[in-house]
A and B are shown apart, each in its own frame.
Chain A
Amino acid sequence: MGYFEQALLAAVLIGALSGLVGTLVVLRQRTFFAQALTHATFPGAVGAAILGVSIPLGAAIASIFIVGIMTMIGRVNRQGNQVASGILLTAGFALGVLLQGLNPSLPVKVDSYLVGSILTVTASDVTLVAIVLAFAVLAIVFLGKQIMFSTFDVNGYRAAGYREWPIELLTLLLTTATVVTAMPAVGAILAIALIAAPAAAARLVSRTTTQMFVIAPVLGAVSGLAGVLLSRSLDVAAGPTIALTATGLFMLALVLQRLAGTVRAPREADARRAPRRSLRLKA
């Protein structure tokens, strides 16, 4: 397989994986968390480059620390998860830049971890993505209904006698694994576009979660494929082209949805938000 074919394969697999896991991220409203994760794995990658160890390994170890710190900040009184994500997003990015600045003689171009370099992905990078994708597909096929239930109505899910943390942990692991394995190809910053945009587009045109779990990976794979092909014919960087293609598909879905009116505004929305009476006593 030539480097270009390998790049195409990587783009398709990463796109499909991002779409699939992105569906979980979007439905569970964890997009900002995923974004913080993408930025905060950056110093892990730089650290790994400095130490001369595996980049995905460095990013993965960093993400475990980051998730731990985010959980701690999130638990501090009156500090929500959004605050924790916001702090870690910038702190992680800053730390990466700082480490990079302190080690100007790094043998690898650290910039490539920010925007990716899909033409230089290795066979082992692609294999790693394929393994994570297989795991994600299995998880969603076998646990799909529990994932859907807990995401739609967490209190109802717990009332039915389930514990929520296994689903939350699974989402966290899949998100982290996706961000880490996508990083060499599309970079820490651009990965979020591929995670959020295809899933958000699929959500606009899907009636059921099952449809979304099929449409989002297809849109992700199409973004990857089209992005790499476009980048070659236009002679521009692949990572940004993939991210922009994904964004373009989202805009297209938005237009299609508006035109077709697939998702009508919930009727009687006003009735549901009617102010509560304090007490209605009747003789």
Chain B
Amino acid sequence: MAAASFAYGAEPALTGIDFAVSPGQAVALIGPNGSGKSTLLKGILGLITRTSGTVEVLGQWPAPAGYIGYVPQTDQLDPHFPVSLEQVVMMGRYRSLGWWRLPSKADHRAVAEALETVDLGARARTRFGELSGGQQQRGLLARAVASAPRLLLLDEPFNGLDQINRDALIETVKRLKQQGVAVLVSTHDLDLARAVCESVLLLNGAQVAFGPRDAVLTLANVQQAFGSVGVEMDEHTIVVPGHGGH
């Protein structure tokens, strides 16, 4: 992605984005609320207008269909929608199924495997809305896994998750990276960035910094991205390479 900008209608939402992610690598998108993390993911998906610059997914634009796995925030979904977890994960197979065909045994096997990957095999027939927030998040990850993506986009996957669900999620993402999947994850949580991401893209309506994780997460950069409110918090907890923890 080079010098890319995105807009909702006439209002610019995110400008000057310049970064890349390689297979098997992960980039964390970090910034305050409204800094454009979700916007960037939607821009990659082609859901919002790009006003300038270039975006290429796997060397193409628009992104080749079916190569991107997207894990939305669960609060964007209707919690009372009558659909089972298994059906949600099967949605990841629709692209390869085409419009008319019904799922084959291989598709059902892929769904069962994806559910095992996120440790939800026993809940396959549960109505999606009856699962906990963390289980829903893992279910959506299983849907992305079932689609065998080359690029995985995760939108705030840690929101409202307890430690067990966080660990399960991190393990799955690590496994996907080992299989050569490129990962982009928007997060407020540096634990996630530290656990799975080699690089960090700091955002605040525009690109603040991009590079190796520890080189980007400096006090000055985080201060620039989060403003003065963030800095007071950071003073006590941020790790600045070469300065040790404080």
Residues of B within 8 A of A233 (CB): none
Compute how far the CA of A277 lies from the CA of B87 in the bound complex, rounded to whole angstroms.
32
* Contact present for A156 and B72 (CB under 8 Å): yes
A105 sits at the interface (CB 8 A) = no
User: Contact string, B30-43, partner A, CB cutoff 8 A, digits 1/0?
Assistant: 10110000000010
Residues of B within 8 A of A252 (CB): none
Residues of B within 8 A of A207 (CB): 82, 84, 127
Chain A: minimal CB distance from B165 (Å): 10
* Contact present for A271 and B134 (CB under 8 Å): yes
B218 sits at the interface (CB 8 A) = no
Residues of A within 8 A of B147 (CB): 160
B2 sits at the interface (CB 8 A) = no
Compute how far the CA of A57 lies from the CA of B54 in the bound complex, rounded to whole angstroms.
49
Query: A279 and B188 in contact (CB under 8 A), knowing A264-B130, A266-B130?
Result: yes
* Contact present for A152 and B80 (CB under 8 Å): no
Residues of A within 8 A of B156 (CB): 276
Chain A: minimal CB distance from B196 (Å): 15
How many inter-chain residue pairs (CB < 8 Å) link A and B?
160
* Contact present for B32 and A282 (CB under 8 Å): no
Chain A: minimal CB distance from B126 (Å): 9
Residues of B within 8 A of A143 (CB): 99
Query: A271 and B133 in contact (CB under 8 A), knowing A152-B81, A211-B82?
Result: yes
Residues of A within 8 A of B77 (CB): 152-153
Compute how far the CA of A186 lies from the CA of B213 in the bound complex, rounded to whole angstroms.
65
Stretch in B13-21, B110-118, B168-176, B226-234 touching the partner: B226-234
Q: Classify chain B: how many residues form its interface, as a range.
A: 35 or more
SS class of chain B's interface: helix, strand, loop or mixed? mixed
* Contact present for A277 and B188 (CB under 8 Å): yes
* Contact present for A156 and B162 (CB under 8 Å): no
B153 sits at the interface (CB 8 A) = yes
A161 sits at the interface (CB 8 A) = yes
Compute how far the CA of A145 lies from the CA of B190 in the bound complex, rounded to whole angstroms.
38
A259 sits at the interface (CB 8 A) = no
A235 sits at the interface (CB 8 A) = no
Compute how far the CA of A212 lies from the CA of B162 in the bound complex, rounded to whole angstroms.
33
The chain A residue sitting closest to B84, CB to CB, is A208
User: Contact string, A163-180, partner B, CB cutoff 8 A, digits 1/0?
Assistant: 000000000000000000
* Contact present for B42 and A281 (CB under 8 Å): no
Compute how far the CA of A151 lies from the CA of B129 in the bound complex, rounded to whole angstroms.
15
* Contact present for A208 and B87 (CB under 8 Å): yes
The chain A residue sitting closest to B233, CB to CB, is A279
The chain B residue sitting closest to A23, CB to CB, is B82
A124 sits at the interface (CB 8 A) = no
Compute how far the CA of A149 lies from the CA of B99 in the bound complex, rounded to whole angstroms.
12
User: Contact string, A204-228, partner B, CB cutoff 8 A, digits 1/0?
Assistant: 0011110110000000000000000
* Contact present for A160 and B234 (CB under 8 Å): no
Chain B: minimal CB distance from A196 (Å): 16
A27 sits at the interface (CB 8 A) = yes
Give residues of chain A (251-283) contacting chain B, Cβ–Cβ below 8 Å. Answer: 263-264, 266-269, 271-274, 276-283
Partner of B160, one of A148, A274, A282: A274
The chain A residue sitting closest to B143, CB to CB, is A156
* Contact present for B91 and A152 (CB under 8 Å): yes
Residues of A within 8 A of B130 (CB): 264, 266-267
